Chain A
Amino acid sequence: MPLTGQTDVEDRSLLIRERFDERRRAELRAVVRPATLEEFRDDVIGRHPRTLELRQLLNFMRMAPIEGRTFAYAAPSYETYYLARLHAERATPPTVDTSHTFTTKEDAIVAAFLERVNDIIGADTLEADNQ
């Protein structure tokens, strides 16, 4: 029975990517420490060479799908920043979290970073490490 038209074609790459991400999260969870997060906080743009752990963590979060990705939202005049999440469907506005306000771009970027870290390896793990 030949194919006849566009149906729901299963893209096996998605499953492979899912398994990759799962494995990568586990690997990052094993190596990322509170010190890794402090390293980012102390040098947001990366002027100094980063540790391998932080570099790999950043690379992984920067290749995440668009849907749900956290970014820093600059309110007009660039005096106030918030966190927000993107949506993958074109023309769907992002969701802005106004519960926290940041006065510098760097602070907002750090917060976005921490939120993504939590998405990737879970807040509980790091809190446990902290204790």
Chain B
Amino acid sequence: MKTSLRLRGYNSRPNVAPGEPLTFHLAHAGDGPVDTRLLRMYNGNLNPSGPGQRTVHIPSELDQRVQVDEQFTQSGGFIKVPDPGGMLSGSNGFSIHLYVWPTLPTLGRQGVISRWDDTTSTGWALTLEPDGLVVTLGDGAGNVIRVGAGIPLYKQVWYSVVVTVDATGVTVSQQAVITSTNSIFGLVVPFDGAAVATGAALTPGDSGTALLLGGLGRHGEVAPHHRMVAGFNGKVESPRYWSRALRADEVSACHDGQGVSDAHLVASWQLNQDSSVTGSGLGDRIEEPVSGLVGECVNQPDRGMTGWKWKGREFVFTHAPDEYGAIWFHNDSLDDCRWPVTLTYTIPQDLPSGCYALECTEAQEDDPETFFVPFFVTAPRSAATSSILLLIPTFSYQAYANSQVYQNAPGGQLANGHITVLEDLDFAMSTGVEQYGLSLYDRHLDGGGVQYSTWRRPQLNMQPAYQHEQSSQVWQYPADLHLVCWMTDQGFDYDVATDHDLHEEGVELLERYNVVLTATHPEYYSEEMIDAWEGYLAGGGRGMYMGGNGMYWVTSVAPDKSHVVEVRRGEVGDQPWRGRPGELQHSTTGEKGSLWRMRGRAPQRVWGTGYTAHTMAVSTHYEFLPDAADPGVGWITEGVDTKQRLGDFGLVNGGAAGLEVDRYDLDQGSPPHTRVLATSVGHDANSMLVTEEIYGSHPATNGEESPLVRADLTYFTTPNGGAMFATSSMSWSASLFHHDGDNAVAKITANVIKRFSDPTPIDELV
């Protein structure tokens, strides 16, 4: 068993067009060199009943032997405020007031606010320790004093905290500021979180660091020379800094939420403001209107979060900025590994669109490790090189990147109904969270749901043969390669593009093609992407929804960071965690999160079907319905015996209807003229209806007892000669290879691709 990887890497972006550069960032803990080469990826699943691993080496300048160093990854969210002029050094006395809501108060030393070098113990710091808040001053000559408030903080309770420092001494004063809505409990609890402690002072030395919110600085000899340590877990709000010690009455005024003289006020950070972003979203900038000591978020701490003044009446942070003054830090968040560039590759003009990877292998004979860094080459910008487009769901890949649900969530197996199979890659994800980050399915160490996911990190579950922890089957990238392999073998000439391309280019991208296919699990969608699909289909485009659970979660992209996506879960949905009350709006755009269905844009309205059940252990087959005999759709099943079962075979749990499945639903907007050609039957008791379909709790919500647990094969025509076909199942594409590809699932898929790629308008069928 291996619990860590010596060799890993990532690239700067998932999508790249001819003529555009792509950078690769590798790390290696071994001694020898690493061999790299470019592969075109066709299949990864090692299942002996399938085509096996299929890759083709593409000779290129990436055929190299390189020396790769081990790399440091800065994990944990924090805010950095550069202070080159020493305005925050505290050398002539200073005060701080801020609000704190800790989530792991007993974890160990955590930096709340500091201008401190932990290597030389120089500067000042307010830390949270198991015994409570502590002020530390260090002169850089070995003299350090610590003054602690003396009582532990309670988890998820808001405190007002004031620190004053001058030559006469140090004071740390705290008061709980609990309201009916802002803390883990309300006013019925007899709680007194007040404490005041004083001690002798010394003049803090100049740490030479930035001021940090959410951690401590540390100088090092090895690059990067400025690092954050002792990351904080919890919220911070409204930090202010004065260049003098506040008087006792001013300290009381701070605790009471009253105004304090602005004399000697140096900085007042507005954690809910970011002037760099147009519109409602928040990026990485923290406004500071007093002295211009602007801060920068590192590693994407949670913004748009409820603060100590939140009353439970307003739920949009842009509507009540005063109630949303907080940022939530987690010591395991990550927005970019920031490793140096190992290789740069500019895509040649003649490299065909398709799925590629940089294959990296240790140049050693004894048990060499190999790591794949996948990416997707599109057609040249503003062009198409085929009439068929396969959309690679890179937003969804990011959402799942390095997910560890089964290792951390006791209920994970109960939800999915099988005994877990795990592998070395799973253990490496768990032991290397600081460099691999978490997925949108995980929780941070402090229990908060992970809301942001970055492309720029090694993605261990995007290795081509990986069997996903949630299904013990291929999932996402390895599953989508099934479709890639089959289309290639069938001789279909196709381009690929990614969610990132669709989000950026919109309907213009789709309009270059006669037919657009989704992959097996396009779950995470932005508004721009839905608009593109709806416009494309309404304009005569043809779509093939080749998966299940698509267009489900509202997804947005961070301003100026196209490699970071955001999802807020909550209220309803098949979800691993639920956002806290009042925290459903995306910080990156200001829009409402959760399901598209709850924003009036259920996937049925565009693709005809929408998510209805997960069926992780047993896949099953479809039965044809009378609509299949409609003369207008006969071409779809040409060559197929519609009196027989459809798809009672396949590489994923033995059927074409499995993992996650969707159904036709007029109430959710399936077009009224939709033909339901077939529907799946025989689901098991572990196939569970999704929670948004269950209005009042009741039994019989499983595959044996509920008529709503099923996958529907649907077809409808759209204006201007277009049409939409849906398989509604994630396991459909794993059935394409059965009987050497001579099977009904493959015939139907091929029939639809062929007709849809023919530009002749499709006859309307209403």
Say yes or no for B654: interface residue by CB 8 A criterion. Answer: yes
Contacts of B408 in A (CB 8 A): 66, 90
Cβ contact within 8 Å between A71 and B445: no
Contacts of A46 in B (CB 8 A): 417-418, 617-618, 684-686
Contacts of A86 in B (CB 8 A): 407
Q: Which residue of B lies closest to A95 (CB)?
A: B1
Q: In the complex, A45 Cα to B408 Cα: how many Å? A: 23
Cβ contact within 8 Å between B193 and A5: yes
Partner of B414, one of A5, A59, A109: A59
Say yes or no for B419: interface residue by CB 8 A criterion. Answer: yes
- Determine how close the nearest CB of chain B comes to the CB of A114; give it in whole angstroms: 11
Say yes or no for B189: interface residue by CB 8 A criterion. Answer: yes
Cβ contact within 8 Å between B1 and A73: yes
- Determine how close the nearest CB of chain B comes to the CB of A87; give it in whole angstroms: 9
Q: Is the interface of B mostly helix, strand, loop or mixed?
A: loop
Partner of A4, one of B151, B424, B432: B151
Residues 403-450 of B at the A interface (beta carbon under 8 Å): 406-411, 413-414, 417-424, 427, 430-433, 445
Q: In the complex, A48 Cα to B406 Cα: how many Å? A: 25
Say yes or no for A3: interface residue by CB 8 A criterion. Answer: yes
Cβ contact within 8 Å between B151 and A90: no
Cβ contact within 8 Å between A78 and B467: yes
Cβ contact within 8 Å between A72 and B686: no
- Determine how close the nearest CB of chain B comes to the CB of A47; give it in whole angstroms: 5
Interface size on A, as a range, is 35 or more
Say yes or no for A19: interface residue by CB 8 A criterion. Answer: no
Q: In the complex, A62 Cα to B193 Cα: how many Å? A: 40
Cβ contact within 8 Å between A91 and B431: yes
Say yes or no for B704: interface residue by CB 8 A criterion. Answer: yes
Partner of B1, one of A66, A96, A105: A96
Q: Which residue of A lies closest to B445 (CB)?
A: A90
Contacts of A81 in B (CB 8 A): 421
Q: Which residue of A lies closest to B655 (CB)?
A: A47
Q: Which residue of B lies closest to A65 (CB)?
A: B410
Q: In the complex, A64 Cα to B411 Cα: how many Å? A: 8
Say yes or no for B243: interface residue by CB 8 A criterion. Answer: no
Say yes or no for B653: interface residue by CB 8 A criterion. Answer: yes
Q: In the complex, A11 Cα to B155 Cα: how many Å? A: 14
Cβ contact within 8 Å between B414 and A6: no
Q: Mark B161-187, 1 if CB is under 8 A from A, else 0.
A: 000000000000000000000000000
Partner of A93, one of B3, B423, B445: B3
Say yes or no for A2: interface residue by CB 8 A criterion. Answer: yes
Q: In the complex, A72 Cα to B106 Cα: how many Å? A: 34
Extra contacts, 19 of them, besides A46-B684, A74-B423, A109-B421 (Cβ < 8 A), are: A4-B191, A5-B151, A7-B152, A45-B653, A46-B417, A46-B686, A50-B685, A59-B414, A66-B409, A73-B423, A74-B421, A74-B467, A78-B46, A78-B465, A84-B1, A90-B430, A90-B433, A94-B427, A109-B419
A interface, CB within 8 angstroms of B: 2-7, 45-47, 49-50, 55, 58-59, 62-66, 71-78, 81, 84, 86, 90-91, 93-94, 96, 105, 108-109, 112-113, 116
Closest 4 CB pairs of A and B: A5-B152, A2-B190, A93-B3, A62-B414
User: Can you name 11 A-B residue pairings with CB atoms under 8 Å?
Assistant: A3-B190, A5-B105, A5-B151, A6-B105, A7-B152, A45-B617, A46-B418, A62-B414, A62-B419, A65-B410, A94-B427
